[in-house]
């Protein structure tokens, strides 16, 4: 029987055996993913893990560094230190995907186009599966947006506050749609768009950044909530697609349509 190593030798490829630290990291990662180790839970002491795996302290700490880089654990040094499990965060994936998009030369238009394909169907699913908690969270964001606009009138809202709140509204649509794959995919793209939105508002475009424009956004959000509450799936999808098309005219106008993603992080 031909082994993997002999096949690799035949094609001149070297197959690297995983290091012990990588194997330990894989074991702990599986426990975290399966829920055997839960967010907030502290891992056993280093001495106990060293004995369990039969490894030295440097090897165990190599495993910790791998998991810490993946944001699956946080390590606190010192006498009261230790490794604590951290809940996976979509923003971690967003950073990696954002880096890949930058290297590929993707534009803001490219990212927003992908969101316009995936997010309106999420609004449809939200209307089909919404709970009272979903509606309460959406309404809470709207109330915070109203307060921000009222506090800054007649001036435009703070770009970081506004973008954070609108980011949360989009995030709630994705979270409530019931499809975890679409929710995570959308969250990754939305993180990039939110960065662009902060930059756009901060430019203080007097021609388009009027107080009324921000009020229109709030009214659009309220309409979506009413459609979702009524269970009008088709109407929610249609409205949200229209909303995003209108937002694109603001976000992607002029030369910003071809603006590379990399410019957002430079």
For range 110-117, the mean pLDDT: 86
**Res. 224: pLDDT tops 60:** yes
Pairwise CA distance, residues 111 & 85, whole Å: 32
DSSP H or E stretch at residue 167: helix 159-176
Eight-state DSSP code of residue 30: H
Tell me the CA distances in angstroms from 159 to 16, 18, 130, 195, 219, one per residue in order. 48, 46, 29, 10, 19
The confidence score (pLDDT) of residue 51 equals: 94
53: pLDDT strictly greater than 80? yes
CB 166 within 8 A of CB 194: yes
Q: pLDDT exceeding 90 applies to what percent of the chain?
A: 45
Cβ contacts of residue 251 below 8 Å, gap of 6+? 108, 112, 193, 196, 197, 200
Which two tokens mark 3?
Answer: 């082994």
Q: How far is CA 169 from the centre of its chain?
A: 13
Q: 116-120, 149-153, 202-206, 247-251: which has the minimum mean pLDDT?
A: 202-206
Q: How confident is the model at residue 5 (pLDDT cuts 50, 70, 90)?
A: very low
Express each pLDDT in 170-210 by its tens digit. 999 999 999 988 888 887 787 777 776 666 666 655 445 67
Among candidates 172, 164, 149, 156, which has minimal Cα distance to 194?
Answer: 164
What's the mean per-residue pLDDT of the chain? 83
Helical H segments across the chain, by residue range: 4-10, 20-33, 46-53, 57-69, 90-104, 108-129, 132-152, 159-176, 180-202, 211-229, 233-251
pLDDT tens profile 63-109? 999 999 888 999 987 667 789 999 876 667 767 777 788 788 788 78
Q: Which residues contact 133 (CB under 8 A, 6 or more apart)?
A: none
What was the pLDDT predicted at 236? 98
Burial group, residue 256, by CB count within 10 angstroms (0-12, 13-18, 19+):
middle
Name the nearest CA neighbour of 69 among 92, 98, 51, 91: 92
**75 strand-pairing partners:** 83
**What pLDDT score does 3 carry?**
46
CA diameter of the chain: 78
Instruction: Please identify which residue in the block is written with the tokens 């449809």.
Output: 124
pLDDT value of position 200: 66
**Residues across the chain:** 266
Quick check: 261 pLDDT over 70?
no
Q: Distance between alpha carbon 253 and the CA centroid of its chain, in Å?
A: 25
Bond prior to 9 in cis (omega within 30° of 0) = no
In this predicted structure, what is the pLDDT of residue 129?
95
pLDDT band at 237 (very low <50, low <70, confident <90, very high): very high
59 against 250, higher pLDDT: 59
Residue of 252 and 113 predicted with greater confidence: 113
Cα 263 to Cα 266: distance, rounded to the nearest angstrom: 5
DSSP lists the bridge partners of residue 82 as 76
């Amino acid at each position: 029987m031909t082994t993997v190593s002999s096949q690799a030798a035949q094609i001149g490829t070297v197959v690297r055996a995983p290091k012990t630290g990588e194997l330990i990291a894989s074991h702990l990662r599986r426990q975290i993913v399966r829920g055997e180790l839960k967010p907030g839970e502290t891992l056993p002491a280093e001495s106990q893990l060293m004995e369990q795996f039969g490894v030295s302290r440097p090897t165990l700490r190599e495993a910790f560094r791998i998991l810490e880089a993946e944001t699956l654990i946080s390590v606190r040094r010192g006498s009261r230190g230790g490794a604590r499990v951290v809940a996976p965060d979509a923003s971690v994936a967003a950073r990696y995907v954002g880096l890949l998009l930058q290297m590929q030369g993707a534009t803001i238009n490219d990212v927003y186009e992908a969101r316009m394909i995936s997010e309106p169907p999420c609004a449809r699913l939200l209307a089909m599966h919404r709970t009272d908690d979903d509606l309460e969270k959406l309404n809470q964001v709207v109330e915070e947006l109203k307060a921000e606009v009222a506090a800054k009138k007649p001036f435009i809202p703070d770009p970081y506050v506004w973008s954070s709140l609108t980011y949360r509204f989009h995030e709630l649509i994705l979270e409530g749609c019931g499809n975890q794959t679409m929710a995570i995919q959308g969250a990754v793209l939305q993180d990039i768009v939110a960065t662009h939105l902060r930059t756009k508002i901060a430019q203080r475009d007097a021609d388009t950044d009027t107080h009324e424009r921000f009020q229109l956004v709030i009214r659009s959000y309220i309409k979506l909530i009413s459609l979702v509450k009524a269970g009008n799936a088709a109407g929610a999808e249609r409205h949200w697609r229209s909303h995003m098309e209108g937002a694109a005219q603001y976000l992607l106008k002029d030369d910003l349509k071809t603006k590379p993603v990399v410019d957002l992080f430079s």
